[in-house]
Amino acid sequence: MIKTENLIRQFGKQKAVDGLNLHIPPGSAYALLGPNGAGKTTTLRLLSTLLAPTEGEIYVDGEKMQRASKAMKSRLGMVSQHFSLQRDMTPREVLKLHGYLHGMSRRDRKEQIERLIRFAGMEAEQKKLVSELSGGNKRKLMIVRAVMHRPDILFLDEPTVGLDASIRRSIWDLLKKLRYAGMTIVLTTHYIEEARVLCDRIGMMSQGKIVAEDTPEGFMSTLPAYVVEDYRDERTDYSYFPDRDSAANYIAGQNTTATVRRSNLEDAYILHTDTKGSKERLRA
C-alpha cells in the first residue's frame, strides 16, 4: 500500500501539493486527474522519490519512504511525460543498460529483455535506433524500461500524451497486462477515458488538494443521467436532469437549439475541478 500523511510540497510561497492524504492498495491502479497546475506531476515526483516533501510522510507497505534507500528505489519504476531515451541506442541496448544500472545479472538481463520485447510487441523494432522509432514505440520502450528491474510500483506521468487514438489504446493494453500481473500503477492523465478504462479509483485534484475521490462508477452514480448542452451568448451552458423527459421538457420551454446527451465521467470531472462556477449549472 502507498500511503501519504499530510503531504506538502512548497515552491517559494506556493503550495503545489497541499496536505495530501492518499491510500492506494497494492495491485490497484490509481489515476490523478486535474487541470494544469493542480499538482498532479508534483505528487507523482514526490511518490517516486524524485522530489522531497516540504512536510508530511510517504509510506510503502508501512515502511517510511527514504529517498536515499536503494532498496526502496528498486521497488519503484517511473515513466516521465517527456521522452528520455538514448537516441543512438537500440531498444535492446536501452533495456540492457537499465538492467546493468540496477545490478541485474547478465543472465537475468538477457532473459528479462527477451520477455519484455515480446511483452511490448516490439520484435520488429528491437534492433532499430531509438531515433528511428515511432512516438508510440518510444512510449512503449519507456514503459518496459521502467519495469525492467521488476518494480512493485509503476508511476506514469501522462503516459499517452500526444499519441493518436489507436496507439493510445495499444499503450492501454500494455498497462492492463502489467496491472493484471499484480503491479501497482499510479498515473496522471488529461484523458478522462484513460482513467476510466485503466483505473480502480480516481483522485480529482485542484489547487494541490484531492477535491474528490471515488471509483469511475461511483463518480457516475452521483450525476444526473442526462445533460442539456445549450450554446448561447458565446458560451455553452450545461444543465443536468434525472431523466430524458425532464431534459426534453426543459428544452421545450426554451427558445433554443440545445441538445440532450447522457452524462459521462468528464461531466463529473468538470463539476469537481472547475473553479469558474460549473457547480452552479447543476440545476436538477
pTM for the structure as a whole: 0.90
pLDDT for 281? 52
DSSP H or E stretch at residue 247: helix 244-252
Q: Which domain holds residue 241?
A: 219-281
d(CA 179, CA 34): 23
d(CA 212, CA 219): 9
pLDDT for 232? 80
Q: In the structure grid, which three cell numbers stand for residue 222, read together?
A: 452521483
How far does CA 252 lie from the centroid of its chain? 41
Average pLDDT over residues 135-146: 94
d(CA 57, CA 7): 6
Query: Domain check: are 155 and 232 in the same one?
Result: no
Question: Which one of 167, 183, 215 terminates a domain?
Answer: 215
Identity of the residue numbered 70: K
Query: Domain check: are 202 and 165 in the same one?
Result: yes
Query: Domain check: are 163 and 247 in the same one?
Result: no
Query: Total domain count for the chain?
Result: 2
d(CA 188, CA 34): 8
pLDDT bin (cut points 50, 70, 90) of residue 235 is confident
Give 47 or 67, the one with higher predicted confidence.
47
Share of the chain above pLDDT 90, in %: 73
Judged on CB neighbours under 10 Å (0-12, 13-18, 19+), 95 is buried
How far does CA 164 lie from the centroid of its chain? 17
Q: Are 39 and 208 in contact (CB under 8 A)?
A: yes
